[in-house]
Amino acid sequence: MSADKDKDLIRPYGDRKDDGVIQLSFVLPVPCSEKAKEAAATVAKKLGLSHVLVAAMEKAGESYSFFVVYGRTHMQLDYNAIEVPEVVHRKHGFDELNEAIRRDLGRRIVVIGACIGTDSHTTGIDAIMNMKGFAGDYGLERYPMFRAVNLGSQVEPEKLVARAKEEGADAVLVSKVVTQREVHKEDARALIDAARQQGIFDKTIFLFGGPRVDHKTALELGFDAGFGPGTKPSDVANYIYYRLLERMGRPPPPQKTAHGTQDATVPATGEKLGETL
């Protein structure tokens, strides 16, 4: 049997399947002109694209131009060869999850969160933790079976860890939006180091979130899970509950659905794969 049979070869397309057309957008540090347009086309050609078309050129501030360029690529890839770790957990509805926590843990789950380092982009952590929540999904503060402490912006990693210890937190929620020069990773590592030093690393769940955060990166940095754009508070609430059960060595209880008993899984993006029950 040919090895190719196990492959699922795909390539990008624009108009027709497999035409290889992709769209790029970028800024060049030159004012708009025909020469700038040719420079943009050259960028695309140097990236290996053919049939290059500069579809749009706009002024992006003094002496800068923004481009949208189309071109064709001949590359293809084997979709079956791509492996990405995903945060997968079952998903309960609001009331059902509170009931499950009451029944299985018999106490409130304590979570503490902050934007760490110099970051003051609190919208993301607020979306997850605050009463109001995000995209019609209640935040953790709203769950009767969660106690949520949101420390806000610009919290030093060591201070977040110290407060987590003081509060007896089950989970530490770290948000990092600014990623220039990999500062998000630097701060995340500092937090994990502090957690080890202050002796809470092994007994606490560490979650890392933000627009450039994915599960793989979070795992590499020593966190339990990573959550990116589109994450809903209910994804986080369910993840923490199941992670706590797992740490207690208890298998998750079966979940009832309209079709019997089965799992519903949710990836880190927050996009639902199964029904919320």
Binding mask 65-104 for ligand B12 (x = CB under 6 A): ----------------------------------------
Residue 277 beta carbon to ligand B12: minimum distance, rounded to whole angstroms = 21
| Assigned token pair, 137 | 């999904």
Long-range contacts (CB closer than 8 Å, 24 or more residues apart) made by 160-166: 160/112, 160/114, 160/116, 160/191, 160/194, 161/191, 161/194, 161/195, 161/198, 161/200, 162/194, 162/198, 163/112, 164/112, 164/195, 164/200, 164/204, 165/198, 165/199, 165/200
Q: What whole-number distance in Å separates Cα of residue 99 and Cα of residue 167?
A: 23
**Residues β-bridged to residue 173:** 113, 207
Query: Do 209 and 227 meet the contact criterion of CB atoms below 8 Å apart?
Result: yes
Give the number of C-alpha atoms closer than 13 A to the C-alpha of residue 242, restricted to the C-beta side: 22
Q: Which is nearer to ligand B12, 67 or 72 (CB)?
A: 67
Q: Does 137 bind ligand B12 (CB under 6 A)?
A: no
Range in contact with ligand B12 (rule: CB under 6 A) among 37-45, 47-55, 142-150, 177-185: 177-185
Query: From the list 108, 121, 163, 185, which residue makes contact with ligand B12 (rule: CB under 6 A)?
Result: 121
Return the residue nearest ligand B12 (CB atom): 209
132 part of the active site: yes
Q: Reduce the secondary structure of 99-148 to three states and give it as a string.
A: HHHHHHCCCCEEEEEEEECCCCCCHHHHHHHCCCCECCECCHHHCCCEEE
Q: Does 148 bind ligand B12 (CB under 6 A)?
A: no
Query: From the list 174, 200, 221, 266, which residue makes contact with ligand B12 (rule: CB under 6 A)?
Result: 174
The one catalytic residue among 35, 59, 132, 256: 132
Query: Do 133 and 233 meet the contact criterion of CB atoms below 8 Å apart?
Result: yes
Binding mask 196-235 for ligand B12 (x = CB under 6 A): -----------x-xxx---------------xxxxx----
Q: Does 180 bind ligand B12 (CB under 6 A)?
A: yes
Q: Which is nearer to ligand B12, 49 or 128 (CB)?
A: 128
Q: Which is nearer to ligand B12, 204 or 231 (CB)?
A: 231
Query: From the list 23, 42, 50, 118, which residue makes contact with ligand B12 (rule: CB under 6 A)?
Result: 118
Query: Do 33 and 67 meet the contact criterion of CB atoms below 8 Å apart?
Result: no
Range in contact with ligand B12 (rule: CB under 6 A) among 37-45, 87-95, 116-124, 259-267: 116-124
Sites of contact with ligand B12 (CB under 6 A): 113, 118-125, 127-128, 134, 173-175, 177-180, 207, 209-211, 227-231, 236
Active site amino acids = 132
